[in-house]
Structure 1
Amino acid sequence: MQLKPQDFLVALKLVAWGDQRWTYARLAQELGLSASEAHACVKRGLQAGLLAQNYQALDSAQAALAVQEPTAIYRVARQKRSRVAATSSQVAQGQLATADNPVRPHSKQLAEFALHGARYAFAADKTPSTIGVPTSHSAPAFAGVFAPGSEDYVWPHPNGTVRGVGVEPLHPSVPFAAMQDARLYEMLALFDAIRVGRARERGMALERLQALIDPAAPKKVKGPMYG
């Protein structure tokens, strides 16, 4: 099994969606992929450890139902109807959104790959100055973060609005996918900052991208520590 750039793109899209319910058809549509390719990406993501099977929410619902139903025979007869009612109620309240999703991002391992492996697995190719969609530190999410005069980077695209050094995107569908989802756009631009940015830009991108993918990760302590 060889991990492909679109597999990483799919994993980042699932991070961007968070606990939203999704379908393979929607995943494919918003990323500019075919449905069969979306399925293949998820399969490879599972094999690589970037994604994980999503059992936790359903297991919790089943455990709660088992406690509520006192008699085994009665439970068998009523379990299916009760489970549907409980699941529908929880989904309506946004408490069980992920139960309908087959997989979820493996936050820790995906963050580790994004920060320390992906830039080597999917190295960036630069092109001459061109018109395109801003990426890296030039993306809209980072307006005002870096000093004026920094060289702009763009994904070459005929409908782009900015001229800058061209950076071949992670996957050809990236400019389209980024325009559909601001959170995904931010993560893809951060990834490009890691791939092509200067030291300061890479440092900021590493910190921000980890916070987006794995919010539970320990934060680095800045400055000296004293006993």
Structure 2
Amino acid sequence: MRPQDIVVLLKVLNNADRQWQYRDFASSLHLSVSEISESLQRSHLAGLVDDTKKKVYRQSLMEFIRYGLHYVFPQLPGTMVTGIATAHSHPFYNQLFKTEMNYVWPYEDGDIRGLSIQPLYKSVVSAVREDEVLYKALASIDIIRVGRVRELKVAIDELQKLIL
């Protein structure tokens, strides 16, 4: 698995009720068509999607996110930068958790300063600017990567609403 595989799977889930092609996701996720294809092939080998690569095994994905994500894609907050709010600094979570320090994906045109969190892949910031559901899901993923127990529970509950 590669980090962008999680993003691709979340995008597939967001479009489960629509017809889509690899090039649709390539465009919206700012990846190449071959990267989308390779990602779905890796997910198939991992048992996270079916043979058509268009149906995500929701329970398996949720188990991977809950129990394996922070081991496979760990993250430690970095230096203070300008960027796009993520983790508990995302607008949804910011209403629930009051903290002294923000977490952000580095982005020079961002609107908030905080400790940098490296996104799962470099063009995440561009992708989430066009997809609010994906943005919230990836902020939830970042909570799993860097959050505390209370934040983690809320993020998992929100992801379960999306995934299951």
C-alpha distance after superposition, 1:91-147 (max 9, x if no partner): xxxxxxxxxxx5111101011001111111011142111000100011122241123
Residue 72 of structure 2 corresponds to which residue in structure 1? Answer: 121
Residue 28 of structure 2 corresponds to which residue in structure 1? Answer: 30
Q: Kindly provide the amino acid, as one letter, of the partner of residue 113 in structure 2.
A: R
Residue 155 of structure 2 corresponds to which residue in structure 1? Answer: 205
Residue 192 of structure 1 corresponds to which residue in structure 2? Answer: 142
Secondary structure class of the residue paired with 2:70:
helix
Runs (4 or more) in structure 1 with deviation over 3 Å come to none
C-alpha distance after superposition, 1:152-200 (max 9, x if no partner): 1000111111000100111111111111111111110001111111221
Secondary structure class of the residue paired with 1:127:
coil
Mapped to 2, the partners of 1:197 and 1:18 lie a distance apart of 29
Residue 124 of structure 2 corresponds to which residue in structure 1? Answer: 174
- Tell me if structure 1 keeps the 8 A contact 2:103–2:116: yes
Residue 108 of structure 1 corresponds to which residue in structure 2? Answer: 59
Mapped to 2, the partners of 1:150 and 1:192 lie a distance apart of 17
Mapped to 2, the partners of 1:210 and 1:150 lie a distance apart of 27
Secondary structure class of the residue paired with 1:103:
coil
Q: TM-score, normalised by structure 2?
A: 0.94
Residue 142 of structure 1 corresponds to which residue in structure 2? Answer: 93
Secondary structure class of the residue paired with 1:154:
strand
Percent of paired sites with the same residue: 37
Mapped to 1, the partners of 2:88 and 2:47 lie a distance apart of 29
- Which segments of 5 or more consecutive residues in structure 2 lack a partner in the other structure? none
Secondary structure class of the residue paired with 1:126:
coil
Residue 94 of structure 1 corresponds to which residue in structure 2? Answer: none
- Which segments of 5 or more consecutive residues in structure 1 lack a partner in the other structure? 55-101, 215-227
Q: Kindly provide the amino acid, as one letter, of the partner of residue 55 in structure 2.
A: R
Q: TM-score, normalised by structure 1?
A: 0.69
Secondary structure class of the residue paired with 2:82:
strand
Mapped to 2, the partners of 1:14 and 1:189 lie a distance apart of 17
C-alpha distance after superposition, 1:26-84 (max 9, x if no partner): 11011110111111111111111111235xxxxxxxxxxxxxxxxxxxxxxxxxxxxxx
Residue 113 of structure 2 corresponds to which residue in structure 1? Answer: 163
Residue 71 of structure 1 corresponds to which residue in structure 2? Answer: none
- Tell me if structure 2 keeps the 8 A contact 1:126–1:167: yes
The count of residues paired between Structure 1 and Structure 2 equals 164
Q: Residues 150, 202 of structure 1: CA spacing in aligned structure 2 closer, same or farther, 3 A cutoff?
A: farther
